[in-house]
Amino acid sequence: MSESNHHTNDKETRSGQRDTNRVQFSEDEESLIARMFNLVGDRWSLIAGRIPGRSAQEIEKYWTSKCTSSSTETSSSHHADA
């Protein structure tokens, strides 16, 4: 009956931006994901088991999008130095 409030509906939020498919996570969830990743690595199903209502796929998608945006910013700053 009830739907999960964790997902963004990309049909409603489409604005031509890259983040339309990004799943929203609370600060507590983000912190837990980071701590769990440091402990167990990319064992997404194990991490998802610690966060009720989250799938391993959602967590992996969140983490890879976070790492991709971080590495893009880092690599662009290196190009400025060259």
Q: Where are the domains of the chain?
A: 23-81
Over range 11-38, report the average pLDDT: 73
pLDDT at 3: 45
pTM of the entire predicted model:
0.60
pLDDT at 28: 94
Over range 42-71, report the average pLDDT: 91
Summary mean pLDDT of the chain: 74
The CATH code that applies to domain 23-81 is 1.10.10.60
Residues 6+ apart with CB under 8 A from 1: none
The DSSP 8-state label assigned to residue 44 in this structure reads H
13 dihedral zone (left: phi>0; alpha: psi -120 to 50; beta) = alpha
